[in-house]
Amino acid sequence: MSGAPEDLIRTQIEYYRARAGEYDDWFYRKGRYDRGPEHNAAWFRDVAAAERAVDAWIPEGRVLELAAGTGIWTERLAAKARHVTAVDASSEVLAVNQGRIAAARLRGRTPAGPRPSPRSRPLADVSYVPADLFTWLPPERYDGVFFGFWLSHVPPHRFEAFWDLVRACLAPGGTVCFVDSRYDPTSTARDHRLLGEESTTVLRRLDDGREYRIVKVFYRAQELTERLAGLGWRITIRETERYFLCGSGGRNRDPA
C-alpha cells in the first residue's frame, strides 16, 4: 500500500467529503463515467442484479448502514426496514442522503433508480450519525447491517477489525449484506487508471482536477468467502455478470 495507512484513511475521508456533490455521477454513469451505450447497459444490468439481491435481504426490523454515502442504498433499506441508522464520516454526503430521503417522502412513490423497489408504506425513519467508522462503536445492536461499496475501502490491515465491528453491531440472529466492486477498468471514470487487480490503492480525480490517493481493494468471491469463513462468518457471495460482488449471511454460532 502506497503511503502511511493512517494518512490514506484521512485522505479518503477528505476525498469523499469533497466528492459528495458528484458521487452519484459514478453510479448513474454520467459525465466522466459515461462509457457509452454498450458499457452503460452492462453496468445497469448488474446494478439491477445487485438491487434484487439487496431487496431480497432487507430485514423488517432495525437496519444499520455503514458508510451510507449519498443514500442510493439508504432509500431502498428504508422502503422495507422499520428503522435505518445511516453512519458516514462525511457530513457532506449525509446531507445529500437526507435530501434524497426527504425528496422520496415528498414524491410518495417508489424509490428512484434503474430498478425501483416496491413500497407499500412510507419510508422508515432514518437516523444520521456522522462518524469515522474506524473509531465508531455501536450504541445498540441491529437486525441487519448493510454496507455498499465500502469493504473495498477498508485497508487490508484493518480487515479483521472491521468484521469485529460488524459482529458487535449485530443482534443475535442478525445478518449482514454488502455490495462491492469487481475489478473492471471500465467501472471507473474515463480519466482514471486502475493499477491492477492486486493493487490496494487508486488515484481518484474530481471534476475540478483535484487528485486523491485512496484505499481500493478488489476481492474475488471465492477468496473472500473463504477468508470470512475463517473469521467465523457464513457469507454467500455471488458475482454479477461483470461489475459487482453481492454478499449476505451471518455468523457461525459463537462459543458460549
Residue 100's domain is classified under what CATH number?
3.40.50.150
Is 245 inside any structural domain? yes
Measuring CA to CA, which residue among 251, 213, 246, 199 is closest to residue 229? 251
126-139 pLDDT, tens digit per residue, is: 999 999 999 999 99
| Per-residue tens of pLDDT for the chain, all 256 residues | 445 578 899 999 999 999 999 999 999 999 999 999 999 999 999 999 999 999 999 999 999 999 999 999 999 999 999 999 999 999 999 999 999 999 999 987 544 455 555 555 799 999 999 999 999 999 999 999 999 999 999 999 999 999 999 999 999 999 999 999 999 999 999 999 898 899 999 999 999 999 999 999 999 999 999 999 999 999 999 999 999 999 999 999 754 4
What's the whole-number average pLDDT of the chain? 93
The cell numbers describing 192, all together, are 482514471
What SS3 state is found at 62? strand
- What is the residue range of 200's domain? 5-251
- Our count of domains for the chain comes to 1
Is 256 inside any structural domain? no
CA distances (Å), origin 114, targets 45, 51, 111, 255: 9, 9, 10, 43
Contact in structure between 192 and 204 (CB atoms under 8 Å) = yes
Is 82 inside any structural domain? yes
DSSP conformation class of 170: E
Is 195 inside any structural domain? yes
